[in-house]
Amino acid sequence: MTYLSRTARALSRSSILVNRVTLRPMTTIGENLKSKERYEESRFMKKQDEMNLDKMKQMKQLKIEEEQMLREEALHKEVIEPRMHDAAKILEETGERVSDAALKNLSKWKLDL
């Protein structure tokens, strides 16, 4: 072997070693970035899930409130309004006048609501 071939082999081996050594930290940096990316992605997904859960809770609460309001309106139409008209007729016969709010309160009192 000649001097040049020995030198070429030595350089190629050393460059392989250098490349292997220098690539190692680069792969760990890449791995660190990937793990950070996964962490950020999971954090983002958790935040999105929490926001969606809050929206679902709000929608459920609004639905419950709406159903309750509809029940109250139905009760008012079916039970309270007829009693209000009865009370208004009785008060008209005696010559008395009261406001609608007072009639409503009288009807609720009469029905023990």
Indicate if the pLDDT at residue 2 is higher than 80.
Answer: no
Question: Where are the domains positioned within the chain?
Answer: 3-110
Tell me the residue type at 6: R
Nearest to 80 by CA among 48, 111, 43: 111
* Tokens at 74, concatenated: 């139905």
Q: Per-residue pLDDT tens for 55-106?
A: 999 999 999 999 999 998 898 888 888 888 888 888 888 888 888 888 888 8
Tell me the whole-structure pTM to 2 decimals: 0.47
The torsion of the CA quartet 86, 90, 92, 94, rounded to 10 degrees, works out to: -170
CB–CB of 106/87 below 8 Å?
yes
State residue 101's pLDDT score: 86
Three-class secondary structure of residue 97 per DSSP: coil
Distance CA 93, CA 85 (A): 12
State residue 69's pLDDT score: 93
Q: Per-residue pLDDT tens for 21-65?
A: 555 555 677 777 788 888 889 999 999 999 999 999 999 999 999
Tell me the residue type at 112: D
State residue 22's pLDDT score: 54
Indicate if the pLDDT at residue 18 is higher than 60.
Answer: no
